[in-house]
Amino acid sequence: MKVRIGSRGSTLALWQAEHVQQRLAALGHEAAIRVITTTGDRIQDRRLEQVGGKGAFLKEIEEAMLAGEVDLAVHSLKDVPTALPAGLRLCAVLERADPRDAVLASSGLALKRLPAGARLGTTSLRRRAQVAALRPDLVLQDLRGNVDTRIRKLREGACDAILLAVAGLERLGRRGEITEILEPDLFLPAPGQGAIALECRESDGPVAAAVAPLDHARTARAVAAERALLAGLQGGCNVPLGAYAVEEDGMLRLTAFVARADGSGLLRGQARDADPLRAGAALAEQLLARGARELMRG
């Protein structure tokens, strides 16, 4: 069958869309990519939470899907809100790439070795809170733009170090520029980080059937737990929050944190359960009982 894919126009988004296009071709399906400019791409001079949160990277693509102009959207799962527009659903989650965050530093120094007062660029509240908790002596600077733009700003001296997702760097062939990879036991990724999600119309059985072989069950279980935690905390782009689930002996071990935007009061917790939705709900309940809602308000 023919599938019309909607994608953002960034180099990374197009890599992901072309990857899905190739996977579908291998299954005997023809796919064409239509580039759609989103609010998040268009407005680069304001923080994400001021322009609609991470959903700002999806809105126009989802509207095109609901209007019947495209059949399938390819997203970085970490950008997908837990509540989708009526009439749309996630139909597959591809096997997760490296979920970790990376430091790129012009000095070649690891995060703990950066000198006091070094300027670290990131707009992510999650990354900012964790850096502030680990290295309160660093100066945090807002830094938006795609991967290439952020690395260019680092090279031009706009900041001394930046934080990016390892998965995006790998997909663009830029893993060699990483100074340090931050392990999840020290620095938690965003829920769904490293995973590519496919979204289609709820009523579109043929497209859902076409992409079903791309769904990776182990990844889907892990990210379901992370997103259940996110939903339970009602956390979005405005909340410094990280979550990561790993499979251990048939059980999911889910770790998460919430904090104030300045990194203070950071709460970290863990839950284990065979059921991803139960794991996420249980950890959300645990963190809320320990004062997470007050932290997220602050």
Q: Report residue 201 CA to chain centroid gap.
A: 22
- CATH number, domain with residue 121: 3.40.190.10
Regarding whether 109 and 27 lie in a shared domain, the answer is no
Q: How confident is the model at residue 50 (pLDDT cuts 50, 70, 90)?
A: very low
Cα separation, 181 vs 93, in Å, equals: 24
Structure tokens at 133: 């908790």
If asked whether residues 89 and 16 sit together in one domain, one would say yes
Which parts of the chain fold into alpha helices (H)? 11-26, 39-42, 59-66, 125-134, 147-155, 166-171, 205-211, 217-233, 276-289, 292-297
Mean pLDDT to the nearest integer, 5-19 = 95
Q: Do 199 and 90 fall within a single domain?
A: yes
CB atoms < 10 A from the CB of 40, how many?
22
Q: How far is CA 289 from CA 264, 266, 286, 292, in A?
A: 18, 14, 5, 7
| Letter string b/e over residues 114-147, b meaning 16 or more CB atoms within 10 A of that residue's CB | beeebbbbbbbbbbbbbbbbebeebebbebbebb
From the list 193, 183, 194, the residue with the least C-alpha distance to 230 is: 193
Of the listed 41, 45, 71, 79, which one is catalytic? Answer: 79
What is the reported pLDDT for 97? 98
In-domain check, residue 151? yes
Going from the C-alpha of 28 to that of each of 1, 5, 31, 69, the distances in angstroms are 8, 16, 10, 22
Which residue's entry shows tokens 């990374």? Answer: 12
- pLDDT digits over 202-230, tens only? 999 999 999 999 999 999 999 999 999 99
264 and 284, same structural domain?
Answer: yes
Find the CATH number of the domain harbouring 284: 3.30.160.40
125 plus 71 within the same structural domain? no
Question: 206 with 1: CB under 8 angstroms?
Answer: yes
pLDDT (average), residues 144-167: 94
Q: Is residue 189 part of a domain?
A: no
Examine the domain organization and report whether 210 and 270 are in the same domain: no
**What's the pLDDT tens digit per position in 82-129?**
999 999 999 999 999 999 999 999 999 999 999 999 999 998 999 999
Residues 85 and 15 in one domain: yes
Residues 145 and 112 in one domain: yes
Is 275 part of the annotated catalytic residue set? Answer: no
Domain residue limits at 257: 225-297
Q: Which two tokens stand for residue 187?
A: 């620095």
